[in-house]
Chain A
Amino acid sequence: MFKQKHFLALGAVTLVALLLLSLPQRVTSRLKLAMGSLFLPLTSLTTTAQQLPADVANDVLPRRELLQEISRLQQENQELKVQALQNASMAMENEQLRYQLRWQRQAPWKIKLANVVMRDPANWWRTVEIDLGSENGLTNNLPVLTADGLIGRISAVWPTHSQVVLIGDPNCRVSAQVDNPAHDIGVVNAAGTLDNTLADLTYLSGTAILKPGQAVITSGLGGVFPKGIPIGQIVDSRPVEFGLYTQARVKLGANLGTLEQVWVLFR
């Protein structure tokens, strides 16, 4: 049953696998980039194919509908301009107060729009790939969010694309703060394997008083995520470790299952 040829094949494949697993991180990253680059033509093709129906729909959109849309957007633009003016005066006031109190100035956020091009094929990770890379100025650990809230951080960067590890993956823990009178601080962790709309907020104080619907935002501790990015809302809570800590379930603001476009945050 066992021929020399079989032994050779078994040995060769085992050797290749062990060699790849023992390579340094830098070499592995380059190899992953090389293998991943093979998929780039297909990725472009898929993006074009997905865009085609939208382009066709745009071409046949009636003029009346377009004019209505322009009118609505112009109105929204005016409202936002007024709001921006109000915010600018508030920001100035904030800066003056910070200066008087000798507090550190907050750097403004810069954001870049990215498209989600792939998802992790393995079921035990929660990562996605986006179409921005080091050529666009991305580095590791930059926060990634949508208009609905935080979704994760950059975990690997290649020249043209990057990997984002999402909230709920064991490699993405976020220091978070509950919007309650005590401003309780905990760590957002993975909640379950199937439901990606929920996460666990752990290591909250044993005396924390939490109510469903309270907002959860980033605490700014840890140095990766700036303070104040919305994460989600408290669903329920329970004491753990004989009342030493409180653990809460958080309904994430962003829907991680239907991500298409995300914002990468620069400081």
Chain B
Amino acid sequence: MSKQNLTLIFAAAFLTVFGESTLSGLRGWLGAQVDLLPALMVYTALYASITTVGLLAVFGGMFFDSLSANPLGISILPLFLVGFIIYLQRDLILRDLSFAQIILGAAASALVPLLKVLLLLTAGTPLLLGWGSLWQWIVLTVGGAVATPIIFALFQWFDHAFGYQLRSESSFRPDREIRRKR
């Protein structure tokens, strides 16, 4: 993974959290705010190192909690756990397939809020939960599933546009050239 993409991952995490707290169009329309951090974690876990996965979980989680009424640090473990599981299995995942990206995005977006709520309930924090939360969970899952291939495409485009491309190997080799002499 290029340095540009690493920088972009953290910038994206920062902007994602900011966007989630300032743009309330989807919240007003669907009744739930879509969280894009799990989708970003899927991309990071498939392409970056375990250190980047850990750093994204720590900083992304802290960014999220600092703008929320969540206790600071509650979002770190759910994000990291999802990233860690995907990272361990990444050799078996066909990451270039859109279908795989959608499934992983949906699973991550479903698991992260669930783990956060479980952690908060374990800590004895009273939460706004009800039957409507089920709808919100579905919106989060579907939103994450839709967003994941878009995030993959955006990062790949960015990498292609700003990163150095590998020079394609030519079949010509000077040591095997047949020199014709008269």
Contacts and interface: CB of A to CB of B under 8 A. Distances in A.
Interface of A: 1-2, 5-6, 9-10, 12-14, 16-21, 23, 28, 31-32, 35-36, 38-39, 42-43, 46, 117-127, 129, 155, 163, 165, 168-171, 190, 192-195, 257-258
B35 A121 contact: yes
Given A6-B88, A9-B84, A13-B77, A32 B66 contact: yes
Contact of B66 (A9, A10, A35): A35
Residue of B54, B57, B80, B128 with highest tally of chain A CB at under 10 A: B128
A190 B128 CA distance: 7
Given A121-B64, A190-B128, A194-B136, A13 B57 contact: yes
A66 B82 CA distance: 58
Contact of A257 (B15, B28, B117): B28
A170 B69 CA distance: 12
- What does DSSP make chain A's interface, helix, strand, loop or mixed? mixed
Interface string B52-72: 011001100111111111111
Given A39-B67, A119-B21, A125-B70, A194 B84 contact: no
A120 B22 CA distance: 9
B62 to A, nearest CB: 5
Interface in B42-101: 50-51, 53-54, 57-58, 61-74, 76-77, 80, 84, 87-88
Nearest to A123: B136
Contacts of B135: 193-194
A16 B21 contact: no
Interface in B26-49: 27-28, 31-33, 35
Nearest to A17: B76
Contacts of B31: 193-194
Interface of B is mostly: helix
B137 to A, nearest CB: 8
Which of B15, B18, B140 has the largest number of chain A CB atoms within 10 A?
Answer: B18
Contacts of A42: 15, 18
B69 to A, nearest CB: 4
Contacts of B21: 118-121, 129
Contacts of A9: 50-51, 53-54, 84
A35 B132 CA distance: 31
Given A9-B84, A17-B73, A118 B50 contact: no
